[in-house]
Structures are given as C-alpha cells and as structure tokens.
Amino acid sequence: MYNFEPDLTYREVFWKVKKDLQKLREKRIWDVTDVHTLKTEQDERYKIVLDVHTRNLYSVLKQAQQIGMMSEHQEYFITSLDLHTVELEDFKYSRANISSLRLIKDRNNDYYRLIDAMQRPPYNYDTGQELRLRA
C-alpha cells in the first residue's frame, strides 16, 4: 500500500512503486531455475488500485505514463465512479488495462432508449438475455 503524501509528487510515488516491483521481480528471477517459469515471471501483470480524487486522476495517470508504468504489465482499477468524466485520450494507445465501475439507473426510460438504439444499425450490439451493453 502506497499513499500519495502531500509533500511527495505522484511521480515520486510511482518511481518508488516501480523500483519496489523491479526488486521483487529480480528476486523472483534469481530464484527461478526453469526457463518456462522465468518466461511466466517476465509476463507477470501488476494490479494497481488507484483511489485518487477525480480532479487528480489525469495527472496521476500521466505521471505513471511518463515513468513507463502504463505498459501491458500494469492493470489499473480506478475506485472513482466518475472515470467517464476524465479525458483519457492520452492513454488511448497505452497497453495498460484501465478499469472502473459506473452506476446507472436501469429503471430510467433513457437507459431503455439507449439499449434499443444500440441494437439497431449502425451499432447492432446484441444484448442477449440481460439488458447490458457490450462495447
């Protein structure tokens, strides 16, 4: 668990996380005798939970990107329910998995109109048994 302290920048915290992960990885590789296990260790993904206020989220992700922590080896789960309000265009081609939850009112008429519209051209999404969107 790492905390974003007021006197530390996000970048400094990410550097610390990155260094700790590298130390952990080096220790694991040192203990490995099987090449197959070594390959598995090198392909390991790191799951990172970010509990950051929405107004700081872009800055946090940008600094993670600047130090190389937005690769296919990182999976970010954002605890904010407002991730959809953050401009994520700069991270579009990063290979990191960025996930979040979003709550919607499924009893709302607008929701059903959206579902209906998504089932027709040009979208043609299949909703299956449940009323949910697949993108």
- Lookup: tokens for 75: 């999976």
Residue 6 pLDDT: 64
d(CA 113, CA 122): 15
- Name the pTM for this structure: 0.58
* Total count of residues recorded for the chain: 135
For the domain 10-104, what is the CATH code? 3.40.50.2300
Place of tokens 């197959």: 36
d(CA 111, CA 132): 10
DSSP H helices in the chain: 10-31, 35-42, 54-66, 109-119
Span of 2-16, 56-70, 104-118 with lowest mean pLDDT: 2-16
Confidence of residue 65 (pLDDT cuts 50, 70, 90): very high
